[in-house]
Amino acid sequence: MSRHKTLADALESEVLTEMAGTFFGARKMLDNLLEDFQLLVEDVRAREAKVYSRVCYMRSLLLGPEGEAAFFAELGIAPPFADSCSHSGSRTWHPDSLPFAFFVGTRYVMAVLQAYAEVRHTCEVYMAGEYEDDPDQSGRKRLSPHYRLIERHCARLNERIEKLNTEMTPSSVLQFARDIGSADQPGQGLLANSLGAESLDNSLKFQKIDFAALGLWKAPALPPVEACEQAIRSFCSGYYKQNGPQIKKVLADLG
C-alpha cells in the first residue's frame, strides 16, 4: 500500500470520526437541553401552588367565591382565579400576623389589603421571578424560575431544533459519509437515496416544543395596590357592614 493511500485512508477516517462526533454530539446536547427544559417547566408548574395558596387565603377573608367575584367586580376585573382552589392542594397560606387596628372593621379592611398585595406579589414573581438563594452555589443568589423564562427558553430551543433539523439532517450526513468512501466502491454514494432520505430525516428529526401544550397557568396582571386601594377600602367597608358576624369569626380564627 502506497504512502499516499495510507494517508488518504487516515484522513478519511479522521474526517468521518469528526463528522460523526459533530452529528451525534449536537443531537446529544439538544437532548440534554430538552431534559433541562422539562425540569424547568416542572419547577415553574410547582410554583403555581404558592400563588393559589395566597388566593385561597384572600378568598377566605371574602367569605368564598361569591365574595371574591364581587371584590374583583368592584375593581373592574373579571374573576381571575375562578379555578384556583382546584389547584391549591391541601395547604393554604396565612400571614404571620394580621394588621393591627382598634376597630374590627378597620382591621378587616387592612387584612384584605394585605392579602391582595400578597396575591399580586406572588403573581408577579411567578411571571417574572425574584432573586432567591441559589441551591447549587452557597451564598449566591439567582433569579427564580418563572413563566417568562419558560417562554424565552421555548423560543430559543425551537430555533435550535429548526437549525439542527435543517442544517444537519441524518440523510445529508450519511450521504457525505458514503461519498467519501465511494471512490473505491461505486454506487455506495447513492445509498442514502435508496433508504429514502426524506423518510429517514422525518423519522429522526426533533419535534418543536408546543408551548401551549405545556399547559402552564398564566398569572393575571393585577393592578398595584396604590391604584385600587380606595376601591378595596370602599368594598371592604360595605362588605363588613353586610357580613360583620361572619367576618369577625374569620378574623378570630386567624388570631
Domain ranges (residues) in the chain = 3-84+102-169+205-254
Mean pLDDT of 144-171: 87
* CA distances from residue 215 to 85, 104, 211 in whole angstroms, order as listed: 17, 42, 8
Length, in residues, of the chain: 255
List, for residues 182-191, the tens digit of each pLDDT value.
555 544 445 4
State the residue for C-alpha cell 403555581.
48
Sole residue written with cell 419535534: 207
For residue range 114-141, what is the model confidence (pLDDT) as tens digits? Answer: 999 999 999 999 999 989 888 888 889 9
The pLDDT tens digits for 135-154 are 888 889 988 999 999 999 99
- Short-list 96, 92, 148, 86, CA closest to 123: 148
pLDDT at 225 over 50: yes
Distance of alpha carbon 15 from alpha carbon 17, whole angstroms: 5
The beta strand positions in 99-247, using DSSP E, are 131-133, 141-143
Q: What is the pLDDT of residue 195?
A: 53
| Separation in Å, CA 218 to CA 133, 187, 212, 249 | 24, 56, 11, 33
Q: Which residue carries 406572588 as its cell?
A: 122
Instruction: Please give the Cα distance from 133 to 139 (Å, whole number).
Output: 7
Q: At 86, which amino acid appears?
A: S
The conformation of residue 133, written as its DSSP 8-state character, comes to E
Higher pLDDT, 32 or 172: 32
Rounded average pLDDT over 96-100: 82
Query: Which distant-in-sequence residues (6+ apart) come within 8 Å of 132 by Cβ?
Result: 141, 142, 143, 144
